[in-house]
Amino acid sequence: MDIVVCLKQIPNPDLQFQIAADGKDVKREGLTYRTNGSDEFALEEAVRLKEKHKGKVTAVTVGPARTVQMLREALAKGADEAMRVADDDPAAVDPMKVAGMLAAAVRKIPYDLVLTGVQSDDYQYSETGGVLAGKLGVPYASCVTKVEAAGKEVKVWRELEGGVNEVCTMPLPAAVTIQYGINVPRYAPLPAIMRAARAPIRELQPKDLGVAGWEAFSSGHTLAVRSLSPPQARGRAQMITGTPEEIAKAVARLLREKSFYRGA
């Protein structure tokens, strides 16, 4: 089974973010990045399927050069190959454009199953996986909590509202978005990290995908951010800021105060 897992690199959510001067993005100077949460579960599920059914896992991302480190982490955790679609847009806010790039890259390699996380932790659009499946022209299932592959079909369990599970069977090739908690992502052993540090990362440019430039992927479907702003406290609401530890202590203190319960 040939599996493609699409990964996104996001700013570390433990950081304190500030709005950029143009009001359309956060200040990215000095930010550190990590793999998107649900994508980590998608990677682990891809590796488990490979271990059970044999085959190959290819990790793919769209992003700048800093995303190479994320791809090496994926190789250390069990991916066999890695591919970066080079795009220097640090925000990458347009899911139509990103999905178009991913689809063009995926077509360059053999695949039976495409996995992505259910959503990104930064924008939370939950669009890229579905748009990717549409551009590839393959069956699609979202919010998947269990995957079973057999022959030329894949059986998936979807999480619906109210705790209801839906079981679907789809012919391969297919695409699914993986829900948080489907498994327990593994840690990469040191020997695998050392091997991954020397592994080649395939890089694709617009000319490699048969287009003149990345703008071809968002023509007519561009999503542009008009403004970005922090939430505002209203009424008796309190804004809690600080490190995760400071926020946890502040919330615990509020829960202990009787006045908090009387005002609830």
d(CA 57, CA 46): 7
Crossing angle of helices 128-136 and 95-106, in 10° steps, is 40
Phi and psi, residue 140, nearest 5°: -140, 140
pTM for the whole structure: 0.88
Longest dimension (CA), the chain: 65
Given a contact cutoff of 8 angstroms between Cβ atoms, the answer to whether 43 and 74 are in contact is yes
State residue 16's pLDDT score.
81
Q: Identify whether 206 is preceded by a cis peptide bond (ω within 30 of 0).
A: no
What are the residue ranges spanned by the domains of the chain? Answer: 2-217, 231-264
Phi and psi, residue 182, nearest 5°: -65, -25
d(CA 79, CA 81): 6
State residue 83's pLDDT score.
97
Kindly give the parts of the chain with pLDDT less than 50: 264
* DSSP-assigned states of every residue in the chain: -EEEEEE-EEE-TTSPP-B-TTSSSB--TT--EEE-HHHHHHHHHHHHHHHHH--EEEEEEEE-TTHHHHHHHHHHTT-SEEEEEE---SS---HHHHHHHHHHHHTTS--SEEEEESS-TTT----HHHHHHHHHT--EEEEEEEEEEETTEEEEEEE-GGG-EEEEEEESSEEEEEPTTSS-PPPPPHHHHHHHHHS--EEE-GGGGTSS-GGGGTTT--------------TT-----S-HHHHHHHHHHHHH-HHHHHT-
State residue 217's pLDDT score.
82
Given a contact cutoff of 8 angstroms between Cβ atoms, the answer to whether 199 and 75 are in contact is yes
State residue 233's pLDDT score.
76
CATH of span 2-217: 3.40.50.620
pLDDT tens, residue by residue, 59-80: 999 999 999 999 999 999 999 9
State residue 259's pLDDT score.
58
Given a contact cutoff of 8 angstroms between Cβ atoms, the answer to whether 191 and 172 are in contact is no
State residue 261's pLDDT score.
54
